Amino acid sequence: MALYVQKFGGTSVGSVERIEAVAEKIKRFRDEGHDIVVAVSAMSGETNRLVALSQAISNQPSPRELDVLLATGEQVTIALLCMALQKLDCDAVSYTGTQVPILTDSAHTKARIQSIDTVKMRRDLDAGKVVVVAGFQGVDQFGSITTLGRGGSDTTGVALAAALKADECQIYTDVDGVYTTDPRVVKSARRLDRITFEEMLEMASQGSKVLQIRAVEFAGKYNVPLRVLSSFEDGPGTLISLEEEDIMEQPIISGIAFNRDEAKLTVLGVPDVPGVASRILGPISAANIEVDMIVQNVAEDRTTDFTFTVHRNDYDKVMKVIEQVADDLGAVEVKGDNTICKVSIVGVGMRSHAGVASKMFDALASESINIQMISTSEIKIAVVIAEKYLELAVRTLHAAFGLSDESLV
Ligand code: ASP
Ligand code: MG
């Protein structure tokens, strides 16, 4: 019999009825003889409600106290879920992060897990109990409650699975798996049976929001097989694991990810001397702003153009910083565009196939979509295009790489 860690997200436990349905699901696994450890999120909307309460008092609440507040959401769910399991005659016990304990660093609101004590959980499993752990929270060395960042329950689930050496970490959510792309954009998008950690990581960091990036990183690092499934329907979901031996069987492209919220800045006529890139990007990273793509041209006339992308929310702030830097550097001018988006194709099959990039560019050209920037990795090609072409680009690429579910085309 297997040991599963099952994580249920906010919508899956969004009401008493849903919590009872989750309890029934867990009970079915118990009845098959499996050992179950559960990680749960707060009921849907609850964490936002708590954030709003804190904002009503202060727009810069103490991070320590914010964590004390936010951790209450998950504490409600663990108690209710245990009650629901007990009502079904399924023995269950709840633990907050502090009680496990899940030890983290002291970076409040974005803490990292350092270690998990499995003694109590093992004892309970041996006694035939279902163990229900509050997601998203831990405790630091001083005994203060910490949280792991929004969406952090996924990370709790994976970390528990790694610590317990579980057979699988199952992430139950409101979709029935990972899709070739967002089905709201492409109706014929297909559920993937399996995908590798690497691909999932690229999909997540390129904008696919099914799983928290950190959770996927963690799962890859500790080789915890992850399965994304629906809380509401039965089905196999999508298995995320190490690359299969049989590379010939791999499709060239597994999925298409996209990100709408991008903005682009270009510093024109930057002197071509050492240290310029660091002088442009230094103040941006000092302001804690993440830079995504970076492109610098070959210098023809002892000056170069330097272009990079940031999250659209940071655009105004970055523009201010960069105008100052450009002045200091004696650059010609700064141009910006906050109506761009990024579309990426992802697949480990790229490693063993040539011509993937030109196929992508051909497909976009056939729809007269202009590519403004390109960036590549071993298993990803991303392009920046005008936002108004996003849907068209995703649909075109989805078809060009044969990703559609034929029965839906
Ligand atoms: N409740 C937390 C949030 O809403 C953690 C989670 O749901 O994963 O971000
Ligand atoms: Mg969530």
pLDDT for the residue 204: 85
| DSSP one-letter string for 84-151 | HHHHTT--EEEE-TTTTTEEE-S-TTS--EEEE--HHHHHHHHTTPEEEEETTEEE-TTS-EEE--TT
Q: How far is CA 38 from CA 25, 93, 103, 157, in A?
A: 11, 10, 18, 8
The tokens for 246 are 């049989």
- pLDDT, tens digit, 9 for 90 and up, residues 310-341: 999 999 999 999 999 999 999 999 999 999 99
CA of 326 to the centre of ligand 2 (A): 41
Q: CA-based angle 9:193:42, to the nearest 5?
A: 0
Structure token digits, residue 173: 């959510």
* Whether 311 contacts 263, CB under 8 Å: yes
Centre of ligand 2 from the C-alpha of residue 335, in Å: 37
Pocket lined around ligand 1, Cβ cut-off 6 Å: 9-10, 41-42, 47, 73, 135-136, 150-153
Q: What is the pLDDT of residue 249?
A: 63
Query: Which residues are within 5 Å of ligand 2 (an ion), measured at CB?
Result: 9-10, 41
From 8, 13, 47, 231, give the residue whose CB has the most ligand 1 atoms within 8 Å, as the site to mutate.
47
- Extract the tokens encoding 267: 């510093």
The pTM of the full predicted model, rounded to 2 decimals, is 0.86
CA-based radius of gyration for the chain: 24
Instruction: Set out the domains of the chain in order of their start, with CATH numbers.
Output: 3-174 (3.40.1160.10), 256-408 (3.30.2130.10)
Dist. CA 369 → ligand 2 center (Å): 35
Q: Which atom in ligand 1 lies closest to the alpha carbon of residue 148?
A: 5
| Residue having the nearest C-alpha atom to atom 6 of ligand 1 | 151
- The CA 9 to ligand 2 mean position distance, Å, reads 5
Q: Which long-range contacts (CB under 8 A, 24 or more apart) does 56-63 make?
A: 63/108, 63/109
Question: Which atom of ligand 1 has the smallest separation from the CA of 212?
Answer: 8
Q: Which ligand 1 atom sits closest to the C-alpha of 149? A: 9
Q: Any idea which residue has 């995504």 for tokens? A: 292
- Which residue positions in the chain have pLDDT lower than 70? 244-250, 409
Closest ligand 1 atom to residue 9 Cα is 7
> Of 136, 160, 228, which is best to mutate to test ligand 1, by the most ligand atoms within 8 angstroms of its C-beta?
136
Residue 151 CA, ligand 2 centroid: distance in Å: 4
Going by CA atoms, what residue is nearest to atom 5 of ligand 1?
Answer: 151
Look at residue 37 in the predicted model and tell me its pLDDT: 98
Instruction: Give me the pLDDT at residue 248, please.
Output: 58
